[in-house]
């Protein structure tokens, strides 16, 4: 069997050339990083959970007409996705204050925001993904005005969908990050949701108890990360069977 060509290795995923032109295989690793990779660990089972959860969210989005890069899941850790040109922005949507906006604006974590707030960060690890405005985005040509209109509309549709799906299982969608990419169909260029949507890139709090069910569990040493992600998966009916390591019986 021919060895696959690795296109890119990031903090949580590896991208390989796909079987057909215009496709990519996205492999989910167990590696967890936080604070711009200052904190690192390997969390057994995280990749399997994120592969399934991202499949679940992206499929739901495709079904309601929000275009995503997701084509199909290939196995426990891999999914086939459409190749796209990633726009160098992290698009953050916030419903409640937490994390960096709480620090920046002195808002108590958990404060409901007057309306969803969309923020943009420039994707550059060396710079720590700095917050940027639409002025920077336009001036440096990272995205056009038409792209920004489409990005805002995609971000808000993803927010409505994810908020509803989470609310139905007793989880509050505090905030999340998406990435978008450009695909070309003949002469037409469109933007689609790319990368992943998983508890690595969302803040998810239990509505009743406030328990954190996302990457803050790792960032803030609040317990076992796979237990938290498994709870999200269980409530959503994703991976009903828990993944356990085979044990040898004497
Ligand atoms: N986020 C992400 N990747 C990043 C930065 C943020 O997935 O590189 C997500 C994060 O998990 C949270 C939301 O975007 O759900 C808002 O993050 P925030 O700006 O509060 O950053 P943090 O507190 O993580 O520094």
DSSP per-residue letters across 177-207: EEEEEEEEETTEEEEEEES--STTSEEEEET
In a domain, 120, yes or no: yes
| Residue 212 within any structural domain of the chain | no
Q: For residue 52, what are the domain limits?
A: 6-84+225-248
Give me Rg for the CA atoms of the chain.
18
Q: Where residue 103 sits, what CATH number does that domain have?
A: 3.30.470.20
Closest approach atom of ligand 1 to CA 35:
25
Which atom of ligand 1 sits closest to the CA of residue 92?
14
pLDDT at 4: 87
Task: Tell me if 24 is assigned to some domain.
Answer: yes
| Residue spans of the chain under pLDDT 70 | 1-2, 240-250
Same domain, 118 and 79: no
* Distance (Å) from CA 44 to ligand 1 centroid: 22
In a domain, 217, yes or no: no
User: Residue 8 — φ and ψ, nearest 5°?
Assistant: -165, 140
State the pairing for strand pair 39-42/70-73.
unpaired
Residue 117 and residue 166 share a domain:
yes
Q: What is the pLDDT of residue 61?
A: 98
Task: Based on the fold, state whether residues 107 and 68 are members of the same structural domain.
Answer: no
Domain shared by 132 and 93, yes or no: yes
Mean pLDDT of the chain: 95
Q: Tell me, what's the pLDDT at 239? A: 79
Is residue 92 lining ligand 1, measured as CB closer than 6 Å? yes
| Residue 216 within any structural domain of the chain | no
Q: Are 36 and 99 within one domain?
A: no
Task: Give the count of domains, the chain.
Answer: 2
pTM of the model: 0.94
Which tokens belong to 116? 């969803």
């Amino acid at each position: 069997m021919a060895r696959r060509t690795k296109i890119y290795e990031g903090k949580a995923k590896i991208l390989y050339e796909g079987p057909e032109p215009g496709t990519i295989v996205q492999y989910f690793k167990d590696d967890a990083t936080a604070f711009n990779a200052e904190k690192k660990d390997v969390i057994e089972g995280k990749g399997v959970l994120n592969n399934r959860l991202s499949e679940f969210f992206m499929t739901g989005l495709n079904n309601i007409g929000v275009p995503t890069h997701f084509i199909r899941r290939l196995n426990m850790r891999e999914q086939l996705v459409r190749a796209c040109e990633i726009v160098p922005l992290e698009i953050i949507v916030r419903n409640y204050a937490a994390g960096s906006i709480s620090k920046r604006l002195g808002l108590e974590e958990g404060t409901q925001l007057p309306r969803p707030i969309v923020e943009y960060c420039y994707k550059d690890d060396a710079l720590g993904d700095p917050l940027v405005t639409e002025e920077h985005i336009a001036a440096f040509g990272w995205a056009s005005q038409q792209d920004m209109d489409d990005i805002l509309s995609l971000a808000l549709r993803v927010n409505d969908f994810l908020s509803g799906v989470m609310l139905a299982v007793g989880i509050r969608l505090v905030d999340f990050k998406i990435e978008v990419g450009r695909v070309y169909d003949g002469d037409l260029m469109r933007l689609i949701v790319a990368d992943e949507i998983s508890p690595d890139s969302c803040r998810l709090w239990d509505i009743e108890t406030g328990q954190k069910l996302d990457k803050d569990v790792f960032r803030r040493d609040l317990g076992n990360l796979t237990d938290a992600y498994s709870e999200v998966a269980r409530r959503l009916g994703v991976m009903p069977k828990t993944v356990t390591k085979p044990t040898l019986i004497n």
